[in-house]
Amino acid sequence: MKHTMRAQRMMWIAWPAFLVAGMLEVLVFACVDPADLHWFGSAVALSRQGVYTLAFFAFWFLAMVSSGLTTLLSASPFEVNRCPIPEGERPADCARGHCG
């Protein structure tokens, strides 16, 4: 059950971020020609396709960070404070005691 919830949350983060990255790619490169890009005063030594690829993954990463922070901040107090150890396996002196 826990793995399916984790996989579901990862999809809540990755899928919208993928769509946003695709939209950003279209918007940015509708206005910017990769051949005109410069890095520290010299032309970027990548092909157009390389720049498109790196930019897409950079956009996707940044959008995933944003979605991940939103998911983290939307967690309920129960989710944040619940004990990760199943009740039958907790040590007797567990500081969290009855948390489950």
Note whether residue 99 is domain-resident. no
Note whether residue 96 is domain-resident. no
Note whether residue 53 is domain-resident. yes
Q: Which of 27, 25, 51 minimizes the C-alpha distance to 39? A: 51
pLDDT (tens, 9 = 90+) of the chain, 100 residues, equals: 567 878 888 898 999 999 999 999 999 999 998 888 888 888 888 999 999 999 999 999 999 999 999 988 888 888 777 777 777 777 776 655 554 4
Note whether residue 55 is domain-resident. yes
* Contacts of residue 20, Cβ cutoff 8 Å, sequence gap at least 6: 59, 63
Note whether residue 100 is domain-resident. no
Note whether residue 81 is domain-resident. yes
pTM for the structure as a whole? 0.72
Note whether residue 22 is domain-resident. yes
Note whether residue 98 is domain-resident. no
Number of domains in the chain: 1
Q: Which domain holds residue 26?
A: 2-89
What are the phi and psi torsion angles at 38 (to 5°)? -130, 145
In the chain, count of helices (H) and strands (E)? 3, 2
